[in-house]
Amino acid sequence: MRAILNTGRTIWQGQAIEAGKDLKLYVDAAAIVYMNPEMMRELGVREGDNVKVISEYGDVVVKVAETKEALPEDMIYIPMGPWANRVVRPNTDTTATPSFKNIPVEVIPADEEVLDMPTLMKKVYGKLGQI
């Protein structure tokens, strides 16, 4: 299913950062995608299921969370963090900041597991501790 991805901060993601990015609390707060109930029905997923979000820049597996706020039917939201960074536009256009908004993506149900942050970083950047 095609969607538009927006990213941003959440209270839960902020609290989890303070606790520690290597904790399960951070994965639970940042490795999620908020969707409206209609999109969840169309995809055949429920809260807590895994989905893969795919953009032209990369892909990531995250858990589904039903949004409590109104989201346009075709919009999804991932809290800022390493999971969102896998699919956002890396070009900075002289701002030194990637584009975190309005990213066209494909969302599909996934059998793959959500990776914790150290494992995700290893997958993206190779063996930790090596340059």
Residue ranges per structural domain of the chain: 2-125
Q: 93 in the Ramachandran plot: left (φ > 0), alpha (ψ -120 to 50) or beta?
A: left
pLDDT tens per residue, range 60-98: 999 999 998 888 889 999 998 888 989 998 776 666 666
What pTM did the predictor assign? 0.84
Q: 121 in the Ramachandran plot: left (φ > 0), alpha (ψ -120 to 50) or beta?
A: alpha
Residues 54, 74: Cα–Cα separation, whole Å: 15
C-alpha triplet 11, 121, 67: angle, nearest 5°: 30
Going by CATH, does the domain composed of 2-125 fall within 2.40.40.20?
yes
